[in-house]
Copies of this chain bind each other. A is one copy, B any other.
């Protein structure tokens, strides 16, 4: 990630004032929301953009010749351009709006995978994958006769790249699919190297950026990816919208995925032809207001600055790791602070994460307890579940203190 020369520092208390969710108490305590990796809270500015769109510029897009339809189309296409800039995609026609990162990955798995994979082929994922970048590949591999292979983790929770050669020996590597930041451990993965490796093997590289795009600059060209999936709801945008970036030369050769209204060029009983990009992949009425809200969220994040956000989260992660490592009986998972995003997964000896999270909730602290949609990783760690605290641009140090205090209470209850 490029570090800007004039690094703007983020004032989380100021940012926080834009988020109405914090104007309430939980169980009589201030809300310490430490579950942003699951979904982020929303700034007023994003909600206002959606309401303004519905109130002044709403109509179905693309086909209407009247003013409201033109405004709505301009708003949707304006949002698409914002996503293009966010990802530094070469061409706006390569940005496809979807519901979420999961759908983006399924689109690639079905549209590319079902038509390009077969026996002898290998789809390579990692032990760190979210189910959304694991199950679609497992499913498509099962349907096509391809095999699934996993890049294992080392003891630090980082990918063990020394295994790549032996993996390549198992078949034709056709797909390498990994996340950029692990939602469980916060590991920042060496995705440029994996992209290069994928291309050396003659495969495509599919990047799950659901957990990185909210927190750092993702440049699809610099990374050398072929497909990149993101979710709006994790980055201050509304639910119901995400985006797939795909290399135009691949997208244009692919069959469509969902079919129906809008994605066609012409429809006849004997033959239907597909529309141009990106429309070929956007069947039916688009998540229009959601795209507009996503665009507003991107504006908001840009105004704060991705470098400032990354630096702030890094500071919080280091602080949290420092304070939490002093808690007796705690196990902290994942890599050292330098190589992790604002995510801390942990367990406390003899106390199930559900119980930890429940007692924390009573102290106003919201963390996630579970497998975080990473059962292969949990199997590797030898646990059913972990606790996870995750941070974002509105997270303040006081929330981490509240977490640490809460953990003391947890230990007292279970003493």
Choose the segment among A199-207, A233-241, A303-311 that binds chain B (4+ C-beta atoms closer than 8 Å).
Answer: A233-241
Query: For the complex, what is the distance from the CA of A66 to the CA of B131, rounded to whole Å?
Result: 22
12 CB < 8 A contacts A-B: A21-B55, A38-B59, A66-B361, A102-B285, A103-B284, A106-B258, A132-B260, A138-B259, A139-B256, A239-B289, A240-B288, A240-B289
Q: Are A65 and B105 in contact (CB under 8 A)?
A: no
Name the residue of chain B whose CB is nearest to the CB of A266: B375
Chain B min CB distance to A70 (Å): 9
Q: Is A212 an interface residue, CB under 8 A from the partner?
A: no
Q: Return chain B residues, CB-CB under 8 Å to A290.
A: 238-240, 287, 290
Query: For the complex, what is the distance from the CA of A105 to the CA of B284, rounded to whole Å?
Result: 10
Partner of A373, one of B54, B136, B239, B262: B262
Partner of A47, one of B55, B60, B256: B55
Q: Is A261 an interface residue, CB under 8 A from the partner?
A: yes
Name the residue of chain B whose CB is nearest to the CB of A70: B361
Q: Is A163 an interface residue, CB under 8 A from the partner?
A: no
Q: Is A253 an interface residue, CB under 8 A from the partner?
A: no
Name the residue of chain B whose CB is nearest to the CB of A135: B259
Chain B min CB distance to A184 (Å): 12
Q: Given A51-B47, A239-B287, answer yes or no on A26-B67 (Cβ-Cβ < 8 Å).
A: yes
Q: Is A166 an interface residue, CB under 8 A from the partner?
A: no
Partner of A261, one of B26, B42, B132, B261: B132
Q: Are B240 and A287 in contact (CB under 8 A)?
A: yes
Q: Are B21 and A267 in contact (CB under 8 A)?
A: no
Query: For the complex, what is the distance from the CA of A357 to the CA of B50, rounded to whole Å?
Result: 27
Q: Which residues of A contact B (CB under 8 A)?
A: 20-21, 23-24, 26-27, 31, 33, 35, 38-39, 41-42, 47, 50-51, 54-56, 58-60, 63-69, 99-103, 105-106, 130-136, 138-139, 148, 150, 231, 233, 238-241, 256, 258-264, 266-269, 272, 283-290, 354, 357-358, 360-361, 365-370, 373, 375-376, 379
Q: Are A68 and B99 in contact (CB under 8 A)?
A: no
Chain B min CB distance to A412 (Å): 19
Query: For the complex, what is the distance from the CA of A240 to the CA of B293, rounded to whole Å?
Result: 12
Interface of A, helix, strand, loop or mixed by DSSP: mixed
Q: Which 9 A-B pairs have the closest CB atoms?
A: A102-B284, A132-B260, A240-B287, A240-B240, A38-B60, A102-B260, A20-B55, A66-B366, A39-B60
Q: Return chain B residues, CB-CB under 8 Å to A130.
A: 260-261
Q: Return chain B residues, CB-CB under 8 Å to A66.
A: 26, 35, 357, 360-361, 365-367
Q: Return chain B residues, CB-CB under 8 Å to A360.
A: 66
Interface core residue of A42, A54, A368 (most chain B CB under 10 Å): A54
Query: For the complex, what is the distance from the CA of A325 to the CA of B52, rounded to whole Å?
Result: 38
Q: Return chain B residues, CB-CB under 8 Å to A59.
A: 33, 35, 38-39, 366
Q: Return chain B residues, CB-CB under 8 Å to A42.
A: 54-55, 58
Partner of A268, one of B262, B283, B368, B375: B375
Q: Return chain B residues, CB-CB under 8 Å to A33.
A: 59, 68
Q: Given A99-B287, A102-B260, A261-B131, answer yes or no on A376-B39 (Cβ-Cβ < 8 Å).
A: no
Q: Return chain B residues, CB-CB under 8 Å to A368.
A: 63-64
Q: Return chain B residues, CB-CB under 8 Å to A102.
A: 258, 260-261, 283-285
Q: Return chain B residues, CB-CB under 8 Å to A20.
A: 54-56
Q: Return chain B residues, CB-CB under 8 Å to A41.
A: 58
Q: Are A370 and B135 in contact (CB under 8 A)?
A: no
